[in-house]
Amino acid sequence: MAGNGKATGTDGARSGGAGNDRAQNEAEAGERAETAPVPEPCGRVDLGITRVFELLGKRWTGPIIAVLMTQPVHFADLRRAIPGISERMLSDRLSELAAAGLVLREVTEGPPLRVSYRLTESGAELGPALSALRCWGEKHLLGGVAGEPGAGC
């Protein structure tokens, strides 16, 4: 091939061209791959953390538990305390939390019939975790702006 500025060998391959550079780079990469340590495979998520986030990772669940942390709350008051949640969604989440043993539903007989919800002992044990998440959120998601007075961050 005359006029291209590259010399060819007897087999017609270019010397010093991109083909040889690529072959040399592949050979060097192969040598590095043989001597490089193999990283450990990442660990699997355990069943406990999977179950926690299946339950608590659903929308509205965290705010519901946070409101119930301080005292038992009637359904209507709970709905007012969490702007944007529908009655059906609140009812569904409360049912899920009750089935998981985190919330108790208490009915007060008489006119009017009043339903209130409170955390079980197991649900109340989420308090320190929720406080830590609240502080983390204020620091990293709200730019250090405190959300509520007395939140403790």
- Give every strand in the sheet of 103-108, ordered side by side: 73-74, 114-119, 103-108
66-140 folds as Arc Repressor Mutant, subunit A (1.10.10)
14 touches 7 (CB < 8 A): yes
pLDDT digits (tens, 9 = 90+) for 12-63: 555 555 556 666 666 665 555 566 788 888 888 899 999 999 999 999 999 9
132 touches 151 (CB < 8 A): no
pLDDT digits (tens, 9 = 90+) for 72-124: 999 999 999 999 999 999 999 999 999 999 999 999 988 888 999 999 999 99
114 touches 107 (CB < 8 A): yes
pTM above 0.85, yes or no: no
- Residue 59 CA to residue 82 CA, distance in Å, equals 12
14 touches 6 (CB < 8 A): yes
- Residue 74 CA to residue 115 CA, distance in Å, equals 6
